[in-house]
Structure 1
Amino acid sequence: MDIAQIPDVVAELTAMIPWKIIIPVMILELILLTVAIVDLVKRTETNGPKWLWLIIILGFNLVGPVVYFIIGRRPH
């Protein structure tokens, strides 16, 4: 492959990405991540150590915040 062909290859690969699906999922992930972290910081007690929940929330993108909301939160 010639260096001059690289922009064409990148343009072809970018055109194949389903942006109409990826962008809403990314926005949902960002919202869940933000709400989960804010809730974790404000909450006085959780089911397990807060540092572990932070790792789970940040480490497991879309699944981490959902798991925190289902398992990690204690009722007030």
Structure 2
Amino acid sequence: MEFLAPVRGGDVVEVEARLASKGRRSRTVDFELRIICRSVDDSGRAEALAEPVVATRARGTAVVPADVATAAG
């Protein structure tokens, strides 16, 4: 996991998840969190950014145990 920019209360974010690889029993997914609107002040207002700011990137892998994978297959 990479933390690239701070996220503040009131920011509006979007998250994208992409399948990076698929094995017989595993899936690897890349995640990216982008700030699309930045909090203006404590009032809860936010302004749209001209370009999204990438705040976090991560990669996760899930593996299904062999006995579960064969039962489902």
Fold match (TM-score > 0.5): no
Bigger CA radius of gyration? 1
TM-score tier (shorter): under 0.3
Give me the TM-score of the superposition, normalised by structure 2. 0.20
Flag the structure with more relative contact order, 1 or 2, with Cα contacts below 8 A and sequence separation at least 6. 2
Normalising by structure 1, we get a TM-score of 0.20
